[in-house]
């Protein structure tokens, strides 16, 4: 497959913290972690999805001015960024495992419409939904 979505980025408030969360708690793997001065290009991958990278980026100079950085950091903290959805095989099991690791769940697993879904947030405020289809 040569044509596909390769990277989609999230804004995070702190890349060390995001690394610790996505790799340490969600079991993602680091794809690229390149620094250039204050700038850091950090992407991670779902262990079962090697063709896709999730970028963990910090709103920062020189791409953004200080006011924009502040605005973006606030928006992320408000949970105003778009929904993120992840498919899981067993929503209850994933919920139990992640909760044990201190992931902040905002909705416990609910069975509805033939699926089971639960919500959590990353430390920055990005909201994830995990869905088990056809449960």
Among 22, 116, 125, 128, binds other proteins (CB under 8 A): 125
How far CA 42 is from CA of 30, 98, 99, 122, in Å, comes to 8, 22, 25, 16
Q: Which of 49, 70 has the CB closer to other proteins? A: 70
Q: Per rule CB under 8 A, is residue 51 in the interface with other proteins?
A: no
How far CA 27 is from CA of 19, 20, 62, 87, 129, in Å, comes to 10, 10, 31, 14, 16
- For residues 19 and 25, what is the distance between their CA atoms, to the nearest angstrom? 9
Which 56-85 positions form the footprint of other proteins (CB under 8 A)?
A: 67, 70-71, 73-74, 76-79, 83, 85
Residues making contact with other proteins (CB under 8 A): 13-14, 67, 70-71, 73-74, 76-79, 83, 85, 104, 106-108, 112-113, 117, 119, 121, 123-125, 129, 131
């Amino acid at each position: 497959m040569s044509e596909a979505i390769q990277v989609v980025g999230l804004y995070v408030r702190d890349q060390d913290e995001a690394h610790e969360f996505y790799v340490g708690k969600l079991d993602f793997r680091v794809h690229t972690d390149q620094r250039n001065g204050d700038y850091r290009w950090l992407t991670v991958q779902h262990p079962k999805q090697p063709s896709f990278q999730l970028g963990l980026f910090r709103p920062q100079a020189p791409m953004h001015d200080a006011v924009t950085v502040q605005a973006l950091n606030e928006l992320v903290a408000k949970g105003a960024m778009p929904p993120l959805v992840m498919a899981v095989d067993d929503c209850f099991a994933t919920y139990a495992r992640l909760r044990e690791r201190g992931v902040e769940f905002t909705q416990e697993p609910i069975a509805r419409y033939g699926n089971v879904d639960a919500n959590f947030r990353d430390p920055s405020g990005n909201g994830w939904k995990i869905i088990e289809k056809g449960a």
